[in-house]
Amino acid sequence: MYHKILVAIDEATINQNIFNAALALAKTIPDVKLVLLHVLSPDLVKVPAHVSVPGPFQQPNLDPYPSLREDLLFSHQRQWNAYDSDCLSQLRSYTAEAIKAGVTTEFMQQPGVPGPVICDLAKALPADLILIGNRGRSGLKEVLLGSVSRYVSDHAPCSVMVIRAQPKPHVADEA
């Protein structure tokens, strides 16, 4: 059966569903260990652009304004630190809840591209199962933005359970 379950946590609202599913599953398996993982993705914190040649679709060259460039970089660093801290806080909270429920649990946070980081860690642990969320992107959004759950399903060294986001309620047109 399962001995080690890797639970991929991100900052989406589906996190509680992923964690709840992982905890419910873990409670049914003796001696299982949950490993909660959050991948710090640079794509989720806006990096101030610094382009050497300005153009119609580029940010202006900030070389002539070193103090502005430093202010932007400092602001980005503050955003990154807050992102890091908030995500660690959430991981600690989930870990404490799982331990209180009697499930052996640890957490980790790593920077990188989520799909490959999740698959690499699953191989290194080694994990028997990965739980991951799916935001329900489809069509053009999935093509343009990609799907971490699809990448993990295609490249994982173990089984993958995808927890789908709750469907948004349909609002009927009033005519």
Has residue 142 been placed in a domain? yes
Has residue 118 been placed in a domain? yes
Q: Compute the 3-state secondary structure of the chain and give helix, strand, coil in percent, each to the nearest 5.
A: 45, 20, 35
Query: For residue 32, with 0-12 CB atoms within 10 Å meaning exposed, 13-18 middle and 19 or more buried, which class applies?
Result: buried
CATH number of the CATH domain containing 131:
3.40.50.620
What 3-state DSSP class applies to 62? coil
Has residue 14 been placed in a domain? yes
Q: What is the pLDDT of residues 61-114, one digit of tens each?
A: 556 666 666 776 777 788 888 889 999 999 999 999 999 999 999 999 999 999
DSSP 159: E
Q: What percent of the chain has pLDDT over 70?
A: 69
Strands (E), the chain: 4-9, 33-40, 104-111, 129-134, 159-164
- pLDDT at position 105 is 98
Has residue 121 been placed in a domain? yes
Between these two residues, 172 and 73, which has the higher pLDDT value? Answer: 73
Domain that holds residue 102: 4-44+89-164
Q: What percent of the chain has pLDDT over 90?
A: 52
Average pLDDT for residues 36-61, to the nearest whole number? 61
- Which helix or strand (DSSP H or E) is residue 86 part of? helix 66-100
Has residue 52 been placed in a domain? no
What 3-state DSSP class applies to 112? coil
Average pLDDT for residues 13-31, to the nearest whole number? 91
Has residue 62 been placed in a domain? no
Question: Which of 5-14, 77-86, 103-112, 142-151 is modeled with the greatest confidence?
Answer: 103-112
The pTM score is: 0.78
How many separate domains does the chain show? 1
In terms of Cα–Cα distance, which of 106, 110, 149, 113 is closest to 5? 106
**What are 38's strand-pairing partners?**
9, 109
Between these two residues, 133 and 136, which has the higher pLDDT value? Answer: 133
Residue 55: pLDDT over 50: no
